[in-house]
Amino acid sequence: MNAAIRAVVRSALAQGVAVTGIRRGYQGLIEGDLNDLTSRSVSNVIQRGGTMLMSSRCPEMYERAGRRKAAESLRQVGIDGLVTIGGNGTIKGALALWKEERVRVVHVPSTIDNDLPGTDITIGFDTALNTAVAAIDKLRDTAASHDRIFLVEVMGRNNGHIAVDAAIAGGAEAVFIPEAHKEMPILMKRIRNWWDSGKHSLIIVVAEGEEQGGALTLAKRLAKLAGSQVRTCILGHMQRGGTPTARDRVLASSYGTRAMDAMMAGKTGTMVAIQCGELVLVPLSAGAGPAKPADQSKFRLVDRLA
């Protein structure tokens, strides 16, 4: 996110446009927590995880009155255009501000879950994925040396984008994702067969789904099935921090700059996106729809290569 903020600030200033940073997202906007940003404000941030502007959940944005306050805040200080950076909640707020209050918005898709529709990739996904794969590589040493089953729980509330890609890249034997919960019995049977045939070192990646820690319940079921101890590693918020990958920094820099160009060209009510390798603009509504599910063919690939 910091690389995206830097790109927005520097490309705006280069075009003679002043930039105000809104701290703590919509909550900060409603409360008027605003600061002017200069080129120096975004020095030395591209390599830092998290967001220099901070973030928060804002229940008021679910209410029309809250959204009115947010728009009023912008008008009071003479802000003509708003660049939002975030995932599902942020874009829904942006769409409402655009439709109801005619706020000129361009959205930058950013969530480690990579589940925003309308774009192939969101900021943060690559960094989280690499963290998950590095953890799997480390766990593999114990799994192999001790002949053990390991469950590795990765983030992904509604979907398994991180889980599927981490399973492929980490050479995992199986992956459990919310989109394919009906396949659970098949996967359990496969694990049982492996165990019976003497394959005892298994890495299974689990998307957290509704609740963090769900893998612990699954571990109990697997332990009964295999009659062996199962170890569980919940990666949790480790995946949301740390040094962003080069790929994420490049993506965020491109997104931020394109967002500012769109703003200057009056192409608002839009989201920057990557589609089939191209940097494009799509309507905000395209990114605010139902979450994009993980790719089925990638899900199948895990089985084929196990």
What number of other Cβ atoms are within 10 A of residue 230's Cβ?
22
Residue 26 and residue 66: Cα distance in Å, rounded? 9
Q: From residue 205, how far is each of 59, 89, 118, 239, 301 by CA, in Å?
A: 33, 26, 26, 14, 14
Which of 157, 231, 247, 267 lies at the binding interface for ligand F6P (CB under 6 A)?
Answer: 157
Contact call for residue 99 and ligand F6P (CB under 6 A): no
Whichever of 141 and 210 has its CB closer to ligand F6P, that residue is: 210
| Three state DSSP letters for 47-70 | CCCCCCCCCCCCHHHHCHHHHHHH
Contact call for residue 87 and ligand F6P (CB under 6 A): yes
Contact call for residue 113 and ligand F6P (CB under 6 A): yes
Which of 190, 240, 267, 298 lies at the binding interface for ligand F6P (CB under 6 A)?
Answer: 240
Residue 87 and residue 24: Cα distance in Å, rounded? 14
Contact call for residue 272 and ligand F6P (CB under 6 A): no
Count of residues that interact with ligand F6P, criterion CB under 6 A = 9
Contact call for residue 247 and ligand F6P (CB under 6 A): no
Minimum distance from residue 158 beta carbon to ligand F6P (Å): 8
Q: From residue 169, how far is each of 51, 180, 185, 197, 271 by CA, in Å?
A: 27, 19, 24, 25, 29
Whichever of 111 and 253 has its CB closer to ligand F6P, that residue is: 111
Sign of CA dihedral 27, 33, 37, 43: negative
Contact call for residue 111 and ligand F6P (CB under 6 A): yes
Whichever of 159 and 268 has its CB closer to ligand F6P, that residue is: 159
Please choose, out of 36-44, 149-157, 190-198, 292-300, the segment that lies near ligand F6P by the rule CB under 6 A.
149-157
Which of 22, 112, 175, 191 lies at the binding interface for ligand F6P (CB under 6 A)?
Answer: 112
Local structure of 23: helix, strand or coil: coil
Contact call for residue 153 and ligand F6P (CB under 6 A): no
Please choose, out of 60-68, 108-116, 226-234, 264-272, the segment that lies near ligand F6P by the rule CB under 6 A.
108-116
Contact call for residue 156 and ligand F6P (CB under 6 A): yes
Span 182-211, contacts to ligand F6P by CB under 6 A: 208
Ordered DSSP codes for 131-173: HHHHHHHHHHHHHHHHT-EEEEEE--SS--HHHHHHHHHTT-S
Q: Looking at this protein, which amino acid is placed at residue 129?
A: L
Residue 93 and residue 57: Cα distance in Å, rounded? 11
| Three state DSSP letters for 276-289 | CCEEEEEEHHHHCC
Contact at 8 Å (CB) between 127 and 245?
yes
Minimum distance from residue 26 beta carbon to ligand F6P (Å): 15
Whichever of 28 and 86 has its CB closer to ligand F6P, that residue is: 86
Whichever of 113 and 179 has its CB closer to ligand F6P, that residue is: 113
Minimum distance from residue 162 beta carbon to ligand F6P (Å): 8
Which residues are tagged catalytic? 113
Residues of the shown chain interacting with ligand F6P in the complex, contacts defined by CB under 6 A: 87, 111-113, 155-157, 208, 240
